[in-house]
Structure 1
Amino acid sequence: MSPARPLHWLRLGWADLMRCPLPGLLHGLAAVVFGGALLLLAGDSFWLLAGAFSGFLIVAPLVATGLYAISRSLELGQRPDLATAFAAWRPRDSRLVIFGLLLALAGTGWVLTSAALITTFAGSVVNSPADFLRVVVLADDDRHLFEAWLVLGAILAAPIFVSSVVAIPLLLDRGDSVLDAVATSVAATLASPVALALWATLILALTMLGMASLMLGLIVLLPWLAHASWHAYRDLVGPDDGARAA
């Protein structure tokens, strides 16, 4: 697979968003409202903000399940609407719930590990985002704590990304178990590591761009990435009509 293939997924995802914009934009708006509420509730509590942000990044692909259904419907030549997105959340299908709980546990593990690292090695107490900026990011010493924090985050995020990059759209599209979905996701990543590394970088960069715009950019960026993720799944795994769950 070409290393630049993720750019093709973004093009296809944008086309899906333009063909059926309402469900995606409503998803993005709901995420922004929820994120704003978290910021208000967290206030200056750095670790609560860090937990909320990490949880947002990790669980967002699961929340986008309805948008995968929109892309699948467009792929089949149908005319999806908001009901198509809502129908993706079937109460009888517990696999998405199980996977969501696993992602939530992973996010909690990162926040706790991050807190332990900063608390142990920071030059002073970090209780607020301003403290983190001053004590960790802009620290003028030889601790290299910020660099270590970034490396630790990458090490912990990599297996989460590898195990979930196609797992969630696969669970929507097929009747595979959670374990099989994770195994397929890992195999897809190992088969195209350079392309998937670029994909992870694009997801992070676009998400950070959305955050930097007071989160307003996420109204468009989140559904765009969700639709693109469906095409990444299709490209990496391919259709299997005989095994579809839906």
Structure 2
Amino acid sequence: MAYGLMVTLMGWLVFALGNHPYFIAAALTGFLLLGPILGAGLIEASRAIEAGETPTFDASLRGLSPHRAALERFAMVLLTLAAAWLLLSAWTLNAAVGPIAPSVTASLWDDALRMMTSGQWGAWALIGAVLAVASFSISVIAVPLILHRDASASEAMRGSLRAVANHPIACAEWALLIVLLTAVGLVTALLGLIVIYPVLGHASWHAYQALRK
């Protein structure tokens, strides 16, 4: 539950700044892109349970140490992808439909949702959806591969891409479940993520095991 609480607190911190699209993007990319890394401890706990061990919060973190280099490289790829979305979406929307959103200073404590057109919101969401598909494809089983097979970051990402290519329907169903459960977390003011996030972390390990069969 501590993992879910940490994610919820981080989300509250971001949304406390206001509902400007940049802040919303930061929160969503933080969950969709960095979620696999933040959930590595949960996956390690699931691996330990399957091995007949009794995991604790500290043990779930200590189990990551032997794979620190690969996890850090994978995290950097996800961070780069997140930064690229924020930069490219702003450039694309400015070129296509004008400014992506009102200035941050003008809407920090205002309602930015009413200050953007439907076209701006649609284009912004489309770019985010493309990024989400790309990030899911390289991360669907990346962390379990790193922890279970001691794979490098590049090997783990290639393994994830192969899993998506070989099991597109199963991966699409898994992605849809993640989106729906994340939506439940959002509509419950992120409180739902206290439970949902740990469940997703444990389910990721079992999804990885199922895709291996």
**What TM-score do the two structures reach when normalised by structure 1?**
0.76
Q: Residue 205 and residue 124 in structure 1: after superposition, are their counterparts in 2 closer, same or farther (change >3 A)?
A: closer
C-alpha distance in structure 1 between counterparts of 2:25 and 2:194, whole Å: 21
Residue range with higher mean Cα deviation, 120-129 or 65-74: 120-129
CA deviations 1:129-183 (Å, max 9, x no partner) are 83344423xx3xxxx4443333322222222111110011111112222111111
Figure out how many residues of one structure are paired with residues of the other and give that number: 207
1:155-194 → structure 2 map (5 Å cutoff): 155-194=130-169
Question: Which letter maps to 1:26?
Answer: A
Change (3 A) 1:104 1:43: same
8 Å CA contact 2:19, 2:112 repeated in 1: no
Partner of 1:126: 102
One-letter code of the match for 2:102? V
Deviation at 1:222, TM superposition (A): 0.4
Report the Cα distance in structure 2 between the residues aligned to 1:67 and 1:231, rounded to whole angstroms.
12
Partner of 1:28: 4
Tell me how far apart the structure 2 counterparts of residues 109 and 124 of structure 1 sit (CA, whole Å).
15
Identity of aligned residues (%): 33
More relative contact order in 1 or in 2 (CA 8 Å, sep 6+)?
A: 1
Match of 1:107 among 82, 90, 96: 82
- Report the residue type matching 2:116 in the other structure: V
1:190-238 residue CA offsets vs partner (Å, 9 max, x unmatched): 1110111111111111112101111100000000011001111111135
CA–CA distance in 2 between the matches of 1:77 and 1:126?
A: 54
In 2, Cα distance between the equivalents of 1:183 and 1:203?
Answer: 21
Return the TM-score normalized by structure 2: 0.87
User: Given residue 232 of structure 1, which amino acid in structure 2 is its aligned partner?
Assistant: A
Map 1:129-144 onto structure 2 (within 5 A).
Answer: 130-136=111-117, 139=118, 144=119
* Structure ID, larger Rg: 1
Q: 2:185 aligns with which of 194, 210, 226?
A: 210
Secondary structure of 1:206 counterpart: helix
